[in-house]
Structure 1
Amino acid sequence: MTIRRHTKLVHEGEYVAEVEVKLLDSEEGWTPYLSMEDARKLDEVREALRRCDLATASKLARVFRLTPVAA
């Protein structure tokens, strides 16, 4: 089994979070996949962004606010 670091983006409303996760590659089954811990971390960040709880989301990821660009 090999482990690779990867950055997942979680988008909710006007916020985006960069979440560092580990992708697991193995010879068996569907790969790559996330560990349960990383899947829960993604869910926790998503829920925190939905509640606009930036303090909690910032503990687990880098959080950005999206702003529209005037053309």
Structure 2
Amino acid sequence: MTRVSKEFIHEGRYCAEIQVELIEDDTAWSPYLSPVDVHKLEAARAALRRGDLAEAAKYGRVFELTPVAAE
């Protein structure tokens, strides 16, 4: 059985929201990701590290993080 979930990858000033499928079964490792989804997450993280936002956006939504001053 699978269910859709979102994973967030954070690198520097950027964050990517990547849609993945969690695989659920009766093993102790459940839920887990498929190798394809793991590759997607790793590729998006590498693109964010390089600052290649266009490449990272191929895998999901990309956000620029802005610090907020606490008052």
Length-normalised TM-score, structure 1: 0.94
1:31 corresponds in structure 2 to 30
SS in 2 for 1:67: coil
- Number of aligned residues: 70
Unaligned runs of at least 5 residues, structure 2? none
Q: Equivalents in 1 of 2:57, 2:31: separation in Å?
A: 26
Range that drifts further, 39-48 or 21-30: 21-30
Identical counterparts, % of pairs: 51
1:12 corresponds in structure 2 to 11
Unaligned runs of at least 5 residues, structure 1? none
**Aligned Cα RMSD in Å?**
0.8
Length-normalised TM-score, structure 2: 0.94
